[in-house]
Chain A
């Protein structure tokens, strides 16, 4: 299918300057489709990046099953559950923000984005308390592991992975919050309309991926026995 007309024709547009349509694209639709493919490809790289950690976790768990079972009891399932709920809600508010941008309900966009940011902040707070508890108990990665009283050795490996995986995930949350903040200010300026809402759509996709990763992290780290 070739929908790529090289000739630019006048788009039925509202009052905003044409810099939102980049020079090498012929139509907004083409630009949006390209942006989506690009973002999905980036998400694929994130899946493989985190996937490597999942593979390492799985193989070390099969090497030291007892240690991993013992170690995971130190995690607070309730906090993990709370964080899961918080992220799922944030995914909902994020997709609502995108929807409102597309249907040009500007105030609602801002509200939903703020709620998304709030959920992300709650997630990080909960994680902070969890980390604080681990540090207090000496349940730290690698050579920093100082917990005493273990009946099964090699539990430090579990915590190496716990901190690597939730840490990398947390970094992505922070990055996501920065992106959402940027989108918030663009939405406030009135940048988005029914034919140009690509940036908020793409940031939304990224945010859902962050949620997706946690959907797998939660059971594997907190629940499996």
Chain B
């Protein structure tokens, strides 16, 4: 069996022939549709979630255009309600939850571990097809009348209104299983398929993040499943659990819903943080500061994140005692996130920093997630939340963490691993411009919304008071800048795929396993047997000779 390629070979300017890789071989559409190769499955997920992002993004742009004027601009109120509901449903269930785990995680995780595939490759393909079926249900619900309940489906409106609630809920139910099976696969893979020499504390932190996320996916998503089933049954058969008109408890629905949906936001952010933990050491050429602290903080966020869901329910009619407990626990769950941010900063301190696009996205993450996380604390304080809940302040908060956090990290990871996945380098100058446009546009759109919210603008409102118009208009223009940045990014990334293969094995000089194989990798990942020789963040100069 071949030995590890030498450092020389990895950075060698001599072009190696990568024409035989997981993309080109085996050939044919059927070979893709029946693949059990984690890399191909990851790529199929990638196009699917990017398509969902585009659709959800178009809905967002339409919403912002409607909000240019206080009254009707381009759509009726009923349509507006449907558009913000669909924006939420698509972005949460079709894009952001699967995005990093299923698209990037599937591709990178086995490579990082030195494995040939995930633990259950056929289950992996199955989970992809479940995603497709769920997406089809969702699209059908959209085009046959849509839903206007908000993505949170609160009862009793959702149990009594017309519209395609049951079909949309069924879509989310099906998509949940895709998430569960991905989680099961990753946990088993991390336990059993690490290369020799790679103990738990020699794994890259991206793996710790994906593992913690998988734990949440496995434990939380089934509760969403049963919640949606109960919702459908309440709608169809009046079983009497959520609808107050027949003796049910609508607050109970919120407990059921948020028991999943709060941990779900950690399914969204922990993978994003995991990517940042890879990018920052690589582009600082310095070992990560506080490896164990970051590793344990991922696990802590996953576990403590199960204890705070009631902070979405402070004004729901929930008891004061429960609210106080949830508020206290919400403050606790912020601590591990803070630990990470400080460790990343300490990693950068006195590092050899270069500012390629992945690093620009990582730095953007630090700023935007910082704001997003901090405003979460504001909202976690009971007295403050009474005034800010259901205003644009909340909308701004979650867009800062979900978009300024997860999506920015996703883009950073996409740029970081693009050469590995596709064997091509993208245009770096355009990438930096794109990142700048996204950063500026994002802040224009959403910082404004903190101001709107604190001044009393309610969320999900179609009409609003004249005094808010200037800020709304500014936010809308921001959405155009943001959109331009994203379209530019899509443009140069797709254009890169038309170039010949030009990416070396390790363009960024990183120290994790995936960079030791060719770009793009062969189907079986490695043409040698991976054995751990150095740590994943070991940037000490290698001994020559």
Name the contact of B196 in the complex, choosing from A6, A56, A156 (C-beta under 8 A). Answer: A6
Most buried by A among B191, B241, B248: B241
Give the A interface residue count (CB, 8 A): 42
What residues on A are CB-neighbors of B187 within 8 Å?
A: 37, 41
Cα separation A196 to B198 with both chains bound (whole Å) = 27
Which residues of B from 192 to 224 have beta carbons under 8 Å from A? 192-199, 218-223
Q: Would you give the 0/1 interface string for A25-55, flagging 1 where the beta carbon is closer than 8 Å to chain B? A: 0000010011001100110111011111101
What residues on B are CB-neighbors of A48 within 8 Å? 219-220, 222-223, 226
Q: Is the CB of B240 within 8 A of A160?
A: yes
B272 to chain A, nearest CB (A): 23
User: Is the pair B119, A38 in contact by a Cβ cutoff of 8 Å?
Assistant: yes
User: Closest residue of chain A to B224, judged by CB?
Assistant: A52
In the complex, are the beta carbons of B219 and A44 less than 8 A apart? yes
Instruction: Looking at the assembled complex, report how far the CB atom of A21 sits from the nearest CB atom of chain B, in whole angstroms.
Output: 13
Per-residue interface assignment for chain B, residues 105 to 118, with 1 indicating a CB less than 8 Å from any chain A CB and 0 otherwise: 00000000011111
List B contacts of A7 (CB < 8 A). 1, 529
User: Which residues of A lie under 8 Å from residue B249 when comparing CB positions?
Assistant: 59-60, 63
User: Which chain A residues border B43 with CB–CB below 8 Å?
Assistant: none
A145-189: which have CB < 8 Å to B? 153-154, 156-157, 160-161, 164
Contact check, B237 vs A142: say whether CB atoms are below 8 A apart: yes
* B345 within 8 Å of A (CB atoms): no
**Interface size of B as a range:** 35 or more
Complex: chain B residue closest to A42, CB-CB? B184
Partner of B237, one of A33, A45, A52, A144: A144
Nearest chain B CB to A6 CB, angstrom units: 4
Determine if B351 is an interface residue (Cβ-Cβ < 8 Å): no
Chain B residues within 8 Å of A22, by CB: 121
Q: Is A4's CB within 8 Å of the partner chain B?
A: yes
Taking CB atoms, residues of chain A closer than 8 Å to B116 are 23-24
Among B117, B225, B238, B256, the residue within 8 A (CB) of A24 is: B117
Do B222 and A45 touch (CB < 8 A)?
yes
Q: How far is the CA of A1 from the CA of B531 in the complex (A)?
A: 14
Distance (whole angstroms) from the CB of A49 to the closest CB of chain B: 4
**A8→B321 CA distance, assembly (Å):** 59
Contact string against A for B residues 122-135, beta-carbon threshold 8 Å, 1 for contact and 0 otherwise? 01000000000000
Report how far A44 CA is from B326 CA in the complex, Å.
25
Taking a contact as CB atoms under 8 Å apart, the answer to whether A157 and B240 are in contact is yes
Q: Which residues of A contact B222 (CB under 8 A)?
A: 45-46, 48-49, 51-52
Instruction: Please determine whether B193 and A4 come into contact, CB atoms closer than 8 angstroms.
Output: yes
B230 touches A52 (CB 8 A): yes
- For residue A141, CB closer than 8 A to chain B, the reply is yes
Closest to B190 in A: A37
| Chain B contacts for A156, CB-based, 8 A | 240
- Chain A 49-74 per-residue mask, 1 if CB under 8 angstroms from chain B, else 0: 11111011001100110000000000
Task: Tell me the complex Cα distance, A2–B185, Å.
Answer: 19
Q: Enumerate chain A residues within 8 angstroms of B221, measured Cβ to Cβ.
A: 45
Q: Select from chain A the residue with minimum beta-carbon distance to B234.
A: A142
In the complex, which residues of chain A have a beta carbon less than 8 angstroms from the beta carbon of B123? 38
Name the residue in B116, B226, B256, B531 with the highest tally of chain A Cβ atoms < 10 Å from its Cβ. B226
Q: Does A224 contact B (CB under 8 A)?
A: no
Q: Is B307 in the interface zone, CB < 8 Å from A?
A: no
What residues of B have a CB within 8 angstroms of the CB of A64 in the complex?
Answer: 247
Bound state CA distance, A95 and B93, in angstroms?
39
Out of A5, A52, A164, name the residue touching B239 (CB < 8 Å).
A164
On chain A, the residues within 8 Å of B238 by CB distance are 142-143
Which B residues are in CB contact (< 8 Å) with A1? 199
Residues in chain B near residue A154, CB distance under 8 A: 240, 247
Cβ contacts under 8 Å, B223 to chain A: 48-49, 51-52
Residues of B within 8 A of A59 (CB): 249, 252
Contact B247 A34 (CB under 8 A): no
The listed residue with most A CB atoms (<10 A of its CB), out of B188, B198, B220, B240, is B240
Once the chains bind, are B241 and A30 in contact (CB under 8 Å)?
Answer: no
Known: A6-B531, A33-B192, A45-B218. A157 touches B241 (CB 8 A): yes
B233 interfacial by beta-carbon distance below 8 Å: yes
Binary contact readout A197-214 vs B (1 if CB under 8 angstroms, 0 otherwise): 000000000000000000
B interface with A by C-beta (< 8 Å): 1, 114-121, 123, 180, 183-185, 187-189, 191-199, 218-223, 225-227, 230, 233-234, 237-241, 247-249, 252, 256, 529-531
Listed by A's residue number, 12 A-B pairs whose Cβ atoms lie within 8 Å are A2-B197, A24-B121, A34-B191, A38-B184, A41-B184, A45-B218, A50-B226, A51-B223, A52-B256, A154-B240, A157-B240, A157-B248
Closest 3 CB pairs of A and B: A52-B226, A160-B239, A142-B237
